[in-house]
Structure 1
Amino acid sequence: MEYSPILLFVFNRPDHVRRTIAALQRNTLAAESVLYIYSDAARTPEQKESVNEVRKYIHSINGFKEIHIIERKGNWGLARNIIDGVTTKVKEYGKVIVLEDDLVTAPYFLKFMNDALDIYKDEEKVGHIQGCDFTQDTSLPDTFLIKWTGSWGWATWERAWKYFNPDGKVLLEELEKRNLTYTFDFNGRYGFTRMLRRQIEGKNNSWAIRWNASLFLNDILSLNVGKSLVQNEGFDGSGTNCGGGGLYSSNLFMDRIEVKRIIPAIENKEARQAYVRYYARTNSFMAKAIRRIKRTLKGDFGR
């Protein structure tokens, strides 16, 4: 098998980057994988020192088949950086694995992603692979298909990325025209539509909500895991879009997850209901209020 390249997007968090790289180096396929690191430039003078520390570190790493470092001259922002990196490399390789600088992977993460990319390469109904589970719902099977895309440790193919539409306004209009916002929001339990609307208004610059909507509107599924191979450590207030509270905590599964082709390629309705339950439990007014109080008492004033 020709293993997929890994695209890693880093900015100004050297400690997070070190943990992300260390975990990747422990992956069973690291030495056989090509790693592309996209380093964004500082937005402000205050960020230059930490950006330079990240850049010095990434030039010192080893443990991969090849390492290519792309240092942006200006500040691109995460969305532009990811869209450009994925578009360029998926065209070159036909497939990519994508990580950000606050994600810690289990030792068999790369194995799982490459197996899934190979097994589902010709399945047009599947366009995304997600390696993180934050629901911690024990009813979920090891792998399942769902009409939703997560962005914490994911992979795709060129044939699927062609559906990506960067125009949030067009995506929102189509969701509303087809009366799909309720389903898109997991039966109204989470505000993905609101997130898309805020992207249109310039209040966030999320590439992920546009990718989610793009595949959703084309009735394309994601292969997800019921045991997490990725842990997001960015909910410590250090990231642009990540507040505190431990809302999306996950436990790393340290063994292999076997990839079996799911036939027919249709959404797992029980898995969708597990997500509905999760968002109903964590996104209610009372749940939000309790989290905010707990974080405030701890001195965590993140979102």
Structure 2
Amino acid sequence: MQNLAPIALFVYNRPQHTERTLKFLQQNELAADSRLFIFSDGAKTAADEDKVKEVRELIKTVEGFKSIEIIESKSNMGLANSVIAGVNRLTAAYGQAIVFEDDLISSPYTLTYFNEALNRYRNEEKVMHIGAYMYALKEAHLPESFFYRAATSWGWATWQRAWQHFEPNIETLLDQFDAKKKHAFSIEKTMNFWKQMQDFKNGKNNSWAIRWYASIFLKGGLTLNPAQSLVNNIGHDGSGIHSGMNDIYNVIINPKPIGQFPTVVEENTQAYHAIKHFLTNRKGSLWARIKRYIKEKF
């Protein structure tokens, strides 16, 4: 497989997570032939300096890739600006990029999936994003991979031709939504995507991911996804910036390579309904929610 996509790994102040993420990445089939770029963000406060230093010591020892380049930021850019700058850089230089954060364990076939999909849909304008994560869906008869509207942010890949449509300005994005689009964007109000947009505008989150999904959605783009997740997020242990999500999004990683890709470029209705069903019921009964609330608080 020629022309393998470069991997961008974004790290900050979690040495244990970073180490695990790298260990699983190294075990990928295509690791030895892939270029790895590690973007290390600078400390936000004096309290973070030791951990940032520890991460930087760790990443200097990494091996097992075709090449490794470390990009250390002197100041704290924050995750969103780091990701945007890193993806801008790699897509400009290589025309494509695979993106990991420091809290993702992957299947040995995750890089294979990304590269096969990047090659397969390179010239399909409508396909704008390849995700590796998928909710624990109950639907048993889904194809191994499918198209869907929303972009997941735990392990993903894209091309420069798609990323050039990324719109960082929240006002520009918000202005393009009417009631019908809001409804479709939020998977018929089963997911708080619209609220995430509002929260970004009001300074309550600093998400690159919600702006990227909105950019794709407004372009009429699609995302490719596996029916069974190829990654799992290990950051929900309270250490991360967006943790506290407990076990709802925990998944068992698909142990097999993805052998089947969709030939028709349109959203898979069956997959859409399976995801909508998951999102509608993900928080469980009222009693389950109360128990989880108590567990998280105490």
Tell me the TM-score normalized by structure 2: 0.95
CA distance in 2, matches of 1:275, 1:157: 25
1:294 equivalent in structure 2: 292
In structure 1, how many angstroms separate the alpha carbons of the residues matched to 2:289 and 2:277?
18
What is the match of residue 70 of structure 1? 71
Aligned-partner SS, 2:133: coil
Distance 1:264 1:294, change over 3 A: closer
SS at match of 1:271: helix
User: 1:283 Cα deviation (Å)?
Assistant: 4.7
Q: Could you report, residue by residue, the CA deviation over 1:51-102 in whole angstroms, capped at 9, with x for unpaired residues? A: 1110000001100000000111010000000000001110110000000000
Compute the displacement of 1:113 (Å): 0.5
Q: Tell me the matched-pair count.
A: 296
Match of 1:91 in 2: 92
Q: Is the 8 A contact 1:10 1:17 kept in 2?
A: yes
Deviations 1:146-180 (A, max 9, x none): 1110001100000000110001122122122x631
2:142–2:227 CA contact under 8 A, matched in 1: yes
Select 1:143's aligned residue among 139, 142, 145. 145
Equivalent residue number for residue 282 of structure 1:
282
Q: Which runs of 5+ in 2 are unaligned?
A: none
Residues 136 and 250, structure 1, Cα contact 8 Å, conserved in 2: no
The aligned counterpart of 1:45 is: 46
Counterpart code for 2:63: N
- Show CA shifts across 1:80-129 (max 9, x none): 00000001110110000000000000001001110000011011110110
Instruction: Give deviations 1:196-238, integer Å, cap 9, x for gaps.
Output: 1100111100000000000001110001000111011111111
2:126 is the counterpart of 1:125: yes
Shift of 1:258: 1.4
Query: Within 2, Cα distance between the matches of 1:251 and 1:263?
Result: 27
Partner of 1:7: 8
Amino acid paired to 1:49: D
2:269 counterpart residue number: 269
Matched, 1:32 2:33: yes
Does the 8 Å contact 2:135/2:275 carry over to 1?
no
For the residues of structure 1 that align with 2:90 and 2:196, how far apart are their CA atoms? Answer: 27
Aligned to 1:251: 252
Cα offsets for 1:274-294 (capped at 9, x unmatched): 11101100257x55x734533
Partner of residue 171, structure 2:
169
Q: What corresponds to 2:194 in structure 1?
A: 193
RMSD over aligned Cα, in angstroms? 1.5
- Say whether the 8 Å CA contact 1:6–1:34 is kept in structure 2: yes
Equivalent-residue separation in structure 2 for 1:292 and 1:48 (angstroms): 38
Percentage of pairs with the same residue: 40
TM-score of the aligned structures, taking structure 1 as reference length? 0.94
Task: Flag structure 1 segments of 5+ consecutive residues without an equivalent.
Answer: none
User: Could you tell me which of 135, 153, 156 is aligned with 2:155?
Assistant: 153
Q: 1:18 to 1:295 in 2, by over 3 A?
A: farther
- Is residue 143–residue 223 contact of structure 1 (8 Å, CA) maintained in 2? yes
Instruction: Work out whether residues 33 and 65 of structure 1, in 8 Å CA contact, stay in contact via their aligned partners in 2.
Output: yes
Counterpart-to-counterpart distance in 2, 1:119 and 1:269: 22
1:209 aligns with 210
Inter-partner Cα distance in structure 2 for 1:28 and 1:136: 26
CA distance in 2, matches of 1:98, 1:68: 15
SS of residue in 2 equivalent to 1:174: coil
Contact 2:17 2:103 in 1 (8 A): yes
